Amino acid sequence: MRLREAEAKVGSRGHRLWVRLTHWLIAGAVLVLIYSGVTILMAHPRFYWGNAGNDLIQPLFEVPLGPNYHHVSFAPATRFFPSHNSPVTADLLVEPWNQNSWARSLHFLAAWCFAAGLLAYLALACATGHARYVLWPRRDELERNNLWQDVQAHLHLPMPAVKPGPPYAILQKLAYTLVVFVALPLMFLTGITMSPGITANYPILLVIFGGAQSARTIHFFTFAFLAIFLLIHLAMILLTGPLRQLRGMILGN
Amino acid sequence: MNDRRLQLSRRALIGGLVSSGALVLPGCSDQQPPTYGNILRMGDNLTYNAQRLLLSSSALVTEYDRSQITSMPAIGTIDPSRSDVGHHDPHGGEAYAALRSGNFADWRLKVEGSVNNPRSFSLAELQHLRSRTQITRHTCEQGWTAIAEWTGVPLRAVLAAAGVRPSARFVQFHTFDLMADGIDMVDALHPQTILAYGMNGRELPIGHGAPLRLRVERQIGYKSLKFLRRIVVTDQFDDLGRAGPIRNGWAWFNGI
């Protein structure tokens, strides 16, 4: 019961200043990261598992995106070794579509803002009790009845306009918890696992994610999860009094 | 007490801001890649200085077993004498074609600049210096990776043979397809930075940069220039004009 009281107290003030600041810093960075990230993906829209993956290796799947999809032109391959299943090399004959000169630098610039925002958010969320009282689901909230009730509440249209900010119902708590404690840190970690400089210092990253290409594939699926979250997040704002919600995240209430 | 703590934390905050500013704008501007006022290049410099500050300069990249060698495409310039694919320079291409027809017997690597004994090395001379073989992961900026075995001479051995001066800060590389790029001394002296003449147990294929290519294992693939012909050691940063990466919109440092 005391937990519930503390929760109500934290939630009664609308969005706190540091939440609003880090929210917009991370939101801005994520939009730039998506834009530059999709541009980077278009240079090589194929995904692999393990440490190595390229046009001469069978991909897990290929994303139908941009001019390089199913479009590479190689000279006949030569084997490195005599055996019939030897790895091969081949000369690429047509320069692929590639905007990575600016897209990569923009991605990493935005990644600095993202990392700063996420670090500040996580530190403050843990230090102020925000994580414990506002985001973390209570045990009684995880009961099936309560979950089902909240699912039904989300299916009733039109949805009632609500006061911006906490307290949050269980689905909202679960969504935010998953995003800030799992998806966003995973984005950061799989991102740096693709870096040859950082993995030289922390080879454990390659072990954790099963290789540089596995990290890239996880990076992509986590992006897809975050993109879906973003769409639902925006839809919920539109359905529950968008101007008041926007005002709440800018001014606090 | 509270006041004092506030002051201290303000001091810490200002100190922190100043030192993070130093990551972007260090005092010695001729030791830093120029930004030309471009915010992307400022971000590149932040990444460069942060990696140099936070990461060990001697850490080695993972090396693999022979059984883990994979297929690897040859991209960009696959033959400097071809004008239809990759970069092409008519003079460099002609010179390259002539040297290749003699099986690179007349090829020389010039080493000059901030060294006490500027000199040229033949392929045989480079092969007589100490050699290093490493099986490493090549990370292309496009997103693909490949694992291959590289055999060559550590760059630091070549620099030592040419008597690199203590004032040296950067090593610049020039190629037959008129590309150029540079690395700082941290990467130049790194034990896995080699001038490779062998790949997967054989001589380096034309498509992968014969007779000699650079391997800078802790950076993205395009830093490992192919078709080397000249090395220039400098005391200051040189953006290398249109032959270098920065003027073409690419990051100079690519540890990520």
Contact in structure between B57 and B142 (CB atoms under 8 Å) = no
Q: Which residues of B touch A56 (CB under 8 A)?
A: 71-73
Contacts of B146 in chain A (CB under 8 A): 52, 54
Q: Which residues of chain A have pLDDT under 70?
A: 1-12
- Between vectors from CA A11 to CA A6 and to CA A17, what angle results, nearest 5°? 120
CB contact under 8 A, B147 and A212: no
CATH class of B61-248: alpha beta
**CA-based nearest residue in chain A for residue B217:** A196
In this prediction, residue B27 carries a pLDDT of: 47
The predicted structure's pLDDT at residue B166: 96
Residue B234 near residue B172, CB atoms below 8 Å: yes
> Closest approach of chain A CAs to the CA of B148, in angstroms?
10
Q: Could you tell me if A94 and B82 are in contact, meaning their C-beta atoms sit under 8 angstroms apart?
A: no
Which DSSP symbol is given to B183?
E
When scoring B145, B149, B192, B215 by the number of chain A Cβ atoms within 10 A, the one with the most, hence best to mutate, is: B145
pLDDT, residue A230, reads 97
Prediction ipTM score: 0.93
Query: Looking at domain A2-42+97-251, what is its CATH homologous superfamily?
Result: Transmembrane di-heme cytochromes, Chain C (1.20.950.20)
> How close is the nearest chain A Cα to the Cα of B50, in Å?
11
What pLDDT score does B9 carry? 53
User: A50: alpha, beta or left, given left = phi > 0 and alpha = psi -120 to 50?
Assistant: left
The beta-carbon neighbor of B71 closest among A57, A106, A199 is A57
What is the DSSP pairing of strand B108-113 with strand B145-154?
A: unpaired
The residues, any chain, with a CB within 8 Å of residue A73's CB and separated by 6 or more, are: A92, A93, A94
- Number of A:B CB contacts under 8 A? 156
pLDDT at B5 (0 to 100): 45
pLDDT at A142: 93
Chain B closest-CA separation from residue A98 CA (Å) = 8
Chain B contact set for A71 (CB, 8 A): none
Structure tokens at B29: 């501007």
Domain assignments of chain A as residue spans, ordered by start: 2-42+97-251
Q: Let me know the angle formed at the C-alpha of A182 by A176 and A188, rounded to the nearest 5 degrees.
A: 115
Which residues, given as ranges, of chain B have pLDDT below 70? 1-29
The reply to whether residue A92 touches residue B75, judged by beta carbons under 8 angstroms, is yes
Give the whole-angstrom CA distance, residue B244 versus residue B225: 11
CB contact at 8 A, A133 and A7: yes
pLDDT at B4: 47
